[in-house]
Amino acid sequence: MRVLIAEDEPRVADAIARGLRRHGAAVDVAPDGAGALYKARVNRYDVVVLDRDLPELHGDDVCRALNAEQPSTRVLMVTASRATGDVVDGLSIGADDYLLKPFRFDELVARVKALARRAGPARPVTLRRGDVELDLAGRRAFRAGRELFLSPKELGVLEVLMSAEGGIVTAEELLAQVWDENVDPFTSTVRMTIMGLRRKLGDPPFVHTVARLGYKV
């Protein structure tokens, strides 16, 4: 799950980003509307957590542009205004959900996860291939009934590979879907994560390298 936080209050943005990363999300942050729209045009996000009152470009304008250009991206609009009319306006311009400040973090996480499930094709709650099972809701993985205790990035990589249903996934695709924009694309991050994942999965080998192309299960 890749999420963009568009929020001009740094402490709020950092707190949301840290919390979502603990839940396995790859998170980018934009401090204003123009930056948010630029990032959304460069990267594909499952969910954008969008503060309505952004500088540079108002959140309403960002929401309209996202609906026109990135229809599969879900928008959770956040605002301090409790006026019913503002909520109605936010939903009418294309926001998929609306959250009022101050909010409980666990509620934001639940809403982001629900919206992510609606981004793109419908996905099952549990992925299974052979004797490997991945519980997407609980963020837990098992092999032959044994829990694997994977790191958030290992879980993310396993989810992308299992979702491909035997198809080849490139390292670039893994970087785009599991890591945020701060990762160095020229590092061995993906390879090292794959190595750790393979070690925890054990034998027989489950994740295979396809020379010069990528990985598959």
DSSP 90-118: HHHTT-SEEEESS--HHHHHHHHHHHHHH
Could you tell me the CATH number of the domain that includes residue 17? 3.40.50.2300
Q: What is the pLDDT of residues 16-40, one digit of tens each?
A: 998 888 888 889 999 999 999 999 9
Give the model's confidence band at 55: pLDDT under 50 very low, under 70 low, under 90 confident, else very high. Answer: very high
Q: Do 20 and 64 reside in the same domain of the chain? A: yes
Q: State which of 118, 151, 182 marks the end of a domain.
A: 118
Specify the higher pLDDT residue, 200 or 21. 200
User: With 70 as the cut, is the pLDDT of residue 87 above it?
Assistant: no
Same domain, 61 and 79: yes
**51 shares its domain with 137:** no
pLDDT score, position 90? 60
What local confidence, expressed as pLDDT, does residue 24 receive? 80
Omega of the bond leading into 204 within 30 degrees of 0 (cis) = yes
| Residue 183, pLDDT score | 75
Which residue, chain included where needed, has tokens 């306006």? 89
Scanning 43-185, the segments in alpha helix (DSSP H) are 59-69, 84-92, 105-118, 152-163, 171-178
86 and 162 belong to one structural domain: no
Q: Please give the pLDDT value at position 13.
A: 92
Whether residues 130 and 210 share a domain: the answer is yes
Percent share of the chain, pLDDT over 90: 49
Domain match, 110 and 201 both = no
| Alpha carbons 72 and 67: distance in angstroms, whole number | 8
What's the CATH number where 182 sits? 1.10.10.10
Q: Are residues 106 and 145 in the same domain?
A: no
User: Tokens in use for 41?
Assistant: 């045009």
Of 66, 85, 118, which marks where a domain is finished? 118
32/82 same-domain check: yes
| Structural domain harbouring 180 | 126-216
pLDDT of 150 reads: 92
How confident is the model at residue 65, as a pLDDT?
A: 93
Same domain, 144 and 164: yes
Query: Do both 19 and 97 map to the same domain?
Result: yes
**Exposed, middle or buried by CB within 10 Å (0-12, 13-18, 19+), for 140?**
middle
pLDDT band per the 50, 70, 90 thresholds, residue 173: confident
Looking at the fold, whether 162 and 210 belong to one and the same domain comes out as yes
Domain end point (choices 61, 93, 118): 118
pLDDT at 23: 83
CA–CA distance, 178 with 156 (Å, rounded to integer): 6
Number of independent structural domains in the chain: 2
Q: Do residues 140 and 114 share a domain?
A: no
